[in-house]
Amino acid sequence: MTRQVSAETGRAALRALFKEGSPLGPLKVMAQHVGRFFQIPIPGFRPYVVFGPESNRKVLVTERDKVMWRNTDPVTDLLRRGVLVVDGDEHDQYRKLMEPSLHPSHLAEYTSRFISHTDRVSSQWGDGEVVDMLVESRKIALLIIMDTLFSKDVWDDMPHIWKPILKSIEYISPGAWIVWRWIPRLGFKKPLKELDEYLFGIINERRKRKEEWKVESGISDLLQHLIDAGLSNDVIRDQMLTMLIAGHDTSTALLAWTFALLGNHFEIHQRVVNEVDSMVRSPLLDQVIKESLRLYPPIHIGNRRVVEEMKFDEGTIPADERMFYSIYLTHRDSSIW
């Protein structure tokens, strides 16, 4: 049974939306006053919201076949047939193709590239200079993703692709479209087209020199796995953009928040630096990263379509309803943390 939302709570949620400019504001208000299971009471927009470890596990693991990832929204518009927005056999096929390139066995090889690209970006910083770590983290993550998964050095291309990538992230970031699906999205068509052209250029270049590249490199990256599987350029583009956005933006958010938290906790910052410099394995850096992920998860809300009735401890969601599960609210639940 869904708990009723009072008019006072509704007004408080609306105020939070305008104050914070993010769906997290009203969701925090609703969670505080209503609990872990509620339905948003907006005409034409009445999704269910669940959070808590048991509910999240049900959605993501034990009853994941009762929900669909694919929705009619800007995320699907942008990623098209990307692995994150397709279901069933198609999802499993793409995931299986991608797993070899993401296997932990590649970590040692990738680590040297992580360090190289980090040094490349940080070498541009002057002593005493103030730098925007969100921007710098984004550069590092972009260089790493494009190199390790697609064997593409984008250092010289950065001025050309920077704005299109930022616009693609903005296009799918939470906003008014969550409530009003068909709200006009101005200013996106040109940069998104430019990003598509760039990705298709990488695909076409690889196809032209496929055998030559494999002999020269001696390795098979994610792009090569997708090409060898016989996928069309359009579907390969969808997987490339999915990995670019999913891997690049989430890593950027993690790095930026971790730097911000360390900047506000000097003692912990110094201990982390000393730990890294000593090369002695210690749990502190791992703990810092996990606490950063808890406080500021890069993906704070997940969006699903319920295709078969789901029962939770607090209520039931009928089939053919939209549902959000919240990582952020779970991580901030005072009964747990």
Which range of residues forms the domain containing residue 121?
A: 36-331
Location of structure tokens 């593409």: 152
> Predicted confidence band at 11 (pLDDT cuts at 50, 70, 90)?
confident
User: Residue 4 falls within a domain, yes or no?
Assistant: no
Residue whose pair of structure tokens reads 């790493």 in the numeric block: 144
CA dihedral of 273, 279, 280, 284, whole degrees rounded to 10: 30
Kindly give the pairing relationship between strand 321-326 and strand 48-51.
Answer: parallel
Q: Is residue 17 part of a domain?
A: no
* Phi, psi torsion values for 63, nearest 5 degrees: -130, 35
User: Does a structural domain hold residue 15?
Assistant: no
**pTM (2 decimals)?**
0.87
Q: Is the pLDDT of residue 182 over 90?
A: no
The DSSP-derived string for 235-251 is HHHHHHHHHHHHHHHHH
Q: Is 55 a member of any domain?
A: yes
Q: Which amino acid is at 1?
A: M
Mean pLDDT, the chain, rounded, equals 90
Asked whether residue 155 is assigned to any structural domain, the reply reads yes
79-122 pLDDT, tens digit each:
999 999 999 899 999 999 999 888 888 888 889 999 999 999 99
Residue 217 clears pLDDT 60, i.e. is over it: no
CATH of the domain at 317: 1.10.630.10
State the average pLDDT over residues 271-280: 85
Count the domains in the chain.
1
d(CA 87, CA 83): 8
Q: Does residue 61 or residue 26 have the better pLDDT?
A: 61
How high is the pLDDT of residue 151? 93
Q: Which residues have C-beta within 8 Å of that of residue 110, sequence separation ≥ 6?
A: 144, 148
**What are the DSSP calls for 203-233, one per residue?**
HHHHHHTHHHHHHHH----HHHHHHHTT--H
- E-assigned strand segments in the chain: 37-39, 48-51, 67-68, 301-306, 310-312, 315-317, 321-326
CB neighbourhood size of 104 (10 A): 7
Whether residue 161 contacts residue 154, with contact meaning beta carbons closer than 8 Å, is answered with: yes
Q: What integer is the mean pLDDT of 224-245?
A: 95
3-state secondary structure of 332: coil
In a domain, 273, yes or no: yes
Count Cβ neighbours within 10 Å for each residue of 237-246 and write b for 16 or more, e otherwise: bbbbbbbbbb
φ, ψ at 112 (rounded to 5°):
-60, -35
Residue 216 counted as domain residue: yes
CA 330 vs. chain centroid, Å, equals 17
Question: Is residue 8 included in any domain, yes or no?
Answer: no
Residue 51 pLDDT grade (very low, low, confident, very high; cuts 50, 70, 90): very high
